[in-house]
Chain A
Amino acid sequence: MDTESTYSGYSHYSGHSKKAHRQGSRDRHKSPRSKDGSRSEKSVTIQTPPAEPLLGNDASRAEEGQDDNWGETTTAITGTSEHSISQEDIARISKDLEDSVGLDCKRYLGLTVAAVLGLLVFLTPIAFILLPQILWRDDLEPCGTVCEGLFISVAFKLLILLIGTWALFFRQPKADLPRVFVFRALLLVLIFLFVFSYWLFYGVRILDSKDTNYQGIVQYAVSLVDALLFIHYLAIVLLELRQLQPMFTVKVVRSTDGESRYYSLGHLSIQRAALVVLENYYRDFTVYNPALLTASKSRAAKHMAGLKVYNVDGPGNNAAGQSRAMIAAAARRRDSSHNELYYEEADHERRVKKRRARLVVAVEEAFTHIKRLQAEEQQKAPGEMMDPREAAQAIFPSMARALQKYLRTTRQQQYHSMESILQHLSFCITNNMTPKAFLERYLNPGPTLQYDRDRWFSKQWTLVSEEAVTSGLQDGVVFVLKCLDFSLVVNVKKIPFIKLSEEFIDPKSHKFVLRLQSETSV
């Protein structure tokens, strides 16, 4: 029970500190009331918060109200938590603020350059065709059907180019990478040089000399559009196709608890590979739960605290010798911490299983109280009809206690507020889910995406790498993706070259004989 109250203090404190920065002093004088309320929590009377939309202030107020009854039996806020959450929050928020300004500028600069260049490139063929008409119309040779055919082809090719560019490039940027995207920059430079050289040629040879061969000019414009389509093809190959074929397998390990996954990647730069890893991290890895790590930390602390080194032979700061002596003594000491760990884990397993069984039974029973009304019955019995939210609120009290105890045992209680549980319950009722489907969210820790953004602990990432981040992946490259609380270590391995040879087996060659060994007496 002692450990439980410490954890409750953690969540209680963190919940309040976060809101304190957002809503000023309003929460401060509410906190004494909530502390009193939480002391008398043992009886299950739950004041369901008013059914309001869950955005913004209402959510936090509802969470505030729920802390009265849903929160644990806190007797005191333990000010000595392992790290001061409120200060980290300040640091994070201010960092977000100051970073966002700089990043936006860089992002928008790149986008505007690309957009301007694109517009210029798109209008160039049209300009090539129109300028002679505007400037020296009378001198131009008449050019009948051939030119009109070329006009049509230019128009359609420009349309195709427009659609292709829209499909390929006009996408919301999903990430902000530390260095410029090399291939994109190369392509922009290539396009710029290309169009520049075409304009140069056009300006010198055609505008200055006022060439009268209009068909030649139109064909020149058509060749420009063709070349642009080829550059578009090159862009597709470089940006999209090249990295599709898997060449490397990366192993991603989370530093705090060792959870690891493998992914297959193609030829990517390190920063793009990091992006892929992060996108998959949010989906594949279970959410980072700092509450699960305290056990190993306390064990480590006990190891270090057990021994002290005294220097008997006089002054002399032999640090290396001291540490070696400590290690040797620790190795020789017969400590039974492995025993403790084993029994503690077995005990915990049992407790979790028991609480889980109680929870499953309670939820199944609660779900039997609800029945869906069919359409015909809806007109017949207008009295007691409830919408999903009210139905959820009606059956929630019977399972609340079991659920709360289970979440506390598995240390997930911070990830699920009462409001979110009610919302999930009404969602499950609406979609005809069974009790087991409702519980799936709570019985197993899910990926980070499943939870509220506030609980992620992992929004700002830093790429730490010995090689340049725009260089490609190689066999044996290691880079680290750090966020404030933990880091992901990524190890790259090349997929081996596979030699495959063939062997032909004639279907008629499958023949068998019996193995006889008989003995006859004569």
Chain B
Amino acid sequence: MAFVPGQPVTAIVQRIEIHKLRQGDNLILGFSIGGGIDQDPTQNPFSEDKTDKGIYVTRVTEGGPAEVAGLQIGDKIMQVNGWDMTMVTHDQARKRLTKRNEEVVRLLVTRQSLQKAVQQSMMS
């Protein structure tokens, strides 16, 4: 997941579709995000490359919509509904995820194990 500046980022991603849950006046997704281009990347426990300023999933609430949809802790979110999440500030990421008129968010996430799974399947 390391990126070379100036080159397009390639990653193996998984599509995850989360249906927001209504709780009172809010629509919640059931996970927490960390990271962003205005944050300190060295404190990210999930990133492989400590200069990676992408958005990561830091917590997934049990039984929430995100867990049901298959989101795992430590995933890096690459796109939300077509919007890029690799070069956004923390607040922009939060806003993209919590739009009030969207009931469903379609994420593209990537994680370490995806790469390994693809490699294994290619070898066999």
Contact = CB atoms under 8 A, between A and B. Distances in A.
A522 B43 contact: no
Interface of B, secondary structure class, is mixed
Contacts of A522: 28-29, 31-33, 94, 97-98
Contacts of B98: 522
Nearest to B64: A521
A517 B34 CA distance: 7
Contact of B59 (A515, A518, A521): A521
Contact of A521 (B31, B40, B44, B90): B31
Interface in A463-522: 515-522
A382 B38 CA distance: 90
A382 B35 CA distance: 93
Instruction: Give the bracket for the number of chain B residues in contact with chain A.
Output: 10 to 19
B43 A515 contact: yes
A515 B41 CA distance: 9
A522 B98 CA distance: 7
Nearest to A516: B39
A520 B35 CA distance: 10
B11 to A, nearest CB: 22
B98 to A, nearest CB: 5
A517 B61 CA distance: 20
B58 interface: yes
Contact of A515 (B29, B33, B40): B40
A517 B39 contact: yes
Interface string B23-58: 000001101111000111001100000000000001
Contacts of B58: 519
B90 A518 contact: yes
Interface string B1-41: 00000000000000000000000000011011110001110
B38 A519 contact: no
Which one of A517, A519, A521, A522 has the greatest number of beta carbons of chain B within 10 Å?
A522
B79 to A, nearest CB: 15
A287 to B, nearest CB: 63
Nearest to A521: B32
Top 6 nearest A-B pairs by Cβ distance? A521-B32, A517-B43, A515-B40, A522-B97, A519-B34, A522-B29
Given A515-B43, A516-B38, 8 more contacts: A517-B44, A518-B34, A518-B39, A519-B58, A520-B33, A521-B33, A522-B33, A522-B97
29 contacts: A515-B40, A516-B38, A516-B39, A516-B90, A517-B34, A517-B39, A517-B44, A518-B39, A518-B90, A519-B33, A519-B34, A519-B59, A520-B33, A520-B34, A520-B90, A520-B94, A521-B31, A521-B32, A521-B33, A521-B59, A521-B61, A522-B28, A522-B29, A522-B31, A522-B32, A522-B33, A522-B94, A522-B97, A522-B98
